[in-house]
């Protein structure tokens, strides 16, 4: 009987998820991080950066739909979008499904992630990197927003966790520079961890964003391979009415967009902003 090969995530001391691995497809230490791509019988292909699960073929739709369609349908007329991180291409793919989006700039620090995800996760980007509306910048998101000449209606920060190259994307300086890239009435959303496991990240982000925006809060999405319960996605805008929209406001925009989703819908859009008391208690 051949021994099963198991890969365990190394994000938390004393608690982990493990994957049976049928094949190690790629492994390389880039100039920024350790990149692994494995084939698993249960979740399909899985990418890890510095031992932390970034995306899987089986559950990526939940995260990418919630990070993209909630802000883009909340915004009355999103034309220009900035993506920070997102090297696997899933965010870019979903943004480009919105035909009213005219331009997307994506700032990704690691070219290797884009290259390897094009090869091993072709459905994630699904040709998005070649879309004429997409402008791909290889660089640090921190530097980009600090020197930003363009402005955007929606900014989506799809970074790794605040360790390694992603750490700078959770600082007050970054958030302040990032806001200079946002048009009036714009929306910023960001991956902000799993509150049951990383509650301090919610407190820190809320404190920092509340100093910059009229409305700073979170919405939730249950991504199975971001373990420990649902994850919180940071939300910030100076137009507080955008978080108060009803399914009746959102549903017509979804219908007009003319594409199907597997997780996101108008009721989920509104319900996602409802935070349980233990998460409310984390808000500074």
As annotated, the binding site includes 33, 64, 88, 108, 140-141, 158-161, 165
Between CA 123 and CA 4 the distance in angstroms is 27
Nearest to 96, CA basis, from 52, 53, 128: 128
Residue 182 touching ligand SAM (CB under 6 A): no
Asked if 212 and 234 count as a contact pair (C-beta separation under 8 A), the reply is no
Phi–psi pair at 191, nearest 5 degrees: -60, 125
Phi–psi pair at 117, nearest 5 degrees: -75, -35
- In the bound state, the residue with its beta carbon closest to ligand SAM is 87
Asked if 197 and 12 count as a contact pair (C-beta separation under 8 A), the reply is yes
Place of tokens 């940071």: 234
15: DSSP letter: B
Residue 195 touching ligand SAM (CB under 6 A): no
Q: How far is the CB of 234 from ligand SAM (least distance, A)?
A: 12
Judged by CB under 6 A, the stretch of 1-9, 105-113, 201-209, 249-257 that binds ligand SAM is 105-113
Paired with 55 in beta bridges are: 47
Which of 78, 141, 162, 195 binds ligand SAM (CB under 6 A)? It is: 141
Q: How far is the CB of 49 from ligand SAM (least distance, A)?
A: 6
Tell me the binding residues for S-methyl-5'-thioadenosine.
33, 108, 140-141, 165
Residue 50 touching ligand SAM (CB under 6 A): no
- How far from the centroid of its chain's Cα atoms is residue 23's Cα? 27
Which of 25, 168, 227, 283 binds ligand SAM (CB under 6 A)? It is: 168
- By CB under 6 A, the count of residues binding ligand SAM is 24
User: 227 to each of 10, 22, 25, 79, how far by Cα in Å?
Assistant: 12, 21, 23, 34
Residue 148 touching ligand SAM (CB under 6 A): no
Q: How far is the CB of 221 from ligand SAM (least distance, A)?
A: 10
Residue 177 touching ligand SAM (CB under 6 A): no
Nearest to 174, CA basis, from 162, 186, 183, 185: 162
User: 248 to each of 98, 257, 265, how far by Cα in Å?
Assistant: 19, 15, 11
Judged by CB under 6 A, the stretch of 38-46, 137-145, 179-187, 208-216 that binds ligand SAM is 137-145
Asked if 171 and 179 count as a contact pair (C-beta separation under 8 A), the reply is no
Residue 45 touching ligand SAM (CB under 6 A): no
Between CA 12 and CA 17 the distance in angstroms is 10
The yes-or-no answer on residue 158 being catalytic is yes
Judged by CB under 6 A, the stretch of 104-112, 234-242, 267-275, 276-284 that binds ligand SAM is 104-112
Nearest to 55, CA basis, from 27, 36, 81: 36
Residue 78 touching ligand SAM (CB under 6 A): no
Q: How far is the CB of 127 from ligand SAM (least distance, A)?
A: 18
Give the active site residue among 158, 173, 215, 249: 158
Residue 109 touching ligand SAM (CB under 6 A): yes
The contact set with ligand SAM (CB under 6 A) reads 54-55, 63, 84-88, 107-110, 113, 140-142, 158-160, 165-166, 168-169, 191
Which residues have a catalytic role annotated?
A: 158
């Amino acid at each position: 009987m051949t021994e099963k090969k198991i890969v365990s995530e190394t994000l938390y001391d004393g608690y982990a998820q493990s994957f049976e691995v049928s094949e190690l497809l790629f492994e390389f230490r880039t100039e920024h991080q350790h990149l692994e791509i494995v084939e698993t019988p249960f979740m399909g292909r899985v990418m890890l950066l510095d031992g932390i699960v970034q995306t899987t073929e089986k559950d990526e739709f939940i995260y990418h739909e919630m990070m993209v369609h909630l802000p883009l349908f909340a915004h009355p007329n999103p034309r220009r979008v900035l993506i920070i991180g997102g090297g696997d291409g899933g965010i870019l793919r979903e943004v480009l499904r919105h035909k009213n989006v005219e331009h997307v700039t994506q700032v990704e620090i690691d070219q290797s992630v884009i290259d390897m995800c094009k090869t091993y996760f072709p459905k994630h980007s699904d040709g998005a990197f070649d879309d004429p509306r997409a402008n791909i910048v290889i660089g640090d998101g921190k530097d980009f927003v600090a020197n930003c000449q363009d402005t955007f209606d929606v900014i989506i920060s799809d970074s790794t966790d605040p360790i390694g190259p992603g750490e700078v994307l959770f600082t007050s300086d970054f958030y302040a520079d990032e806001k200079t890239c946002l048009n009036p009435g714009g929306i910023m959303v960001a991956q902000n961890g799993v509150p049951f496991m990383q509650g301090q990240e919610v407190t820190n982000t809320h404190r920092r964003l509340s100093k910059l925006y009229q409305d700073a809060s979170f919405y939730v999405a249950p991504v199975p391979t971001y373990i420990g319960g649902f994850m919180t996605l940071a939300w910030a805008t100076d137009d507080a009415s955008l978080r108060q929209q009803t399914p009746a406001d959102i549903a017509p925009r979804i219908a007009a967009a003319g594409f199907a989703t597997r997780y996101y819908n108008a009721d989920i859009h509104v319900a996602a902003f409802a935070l349980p008391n233990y998460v409310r208690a984390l808000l500074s």
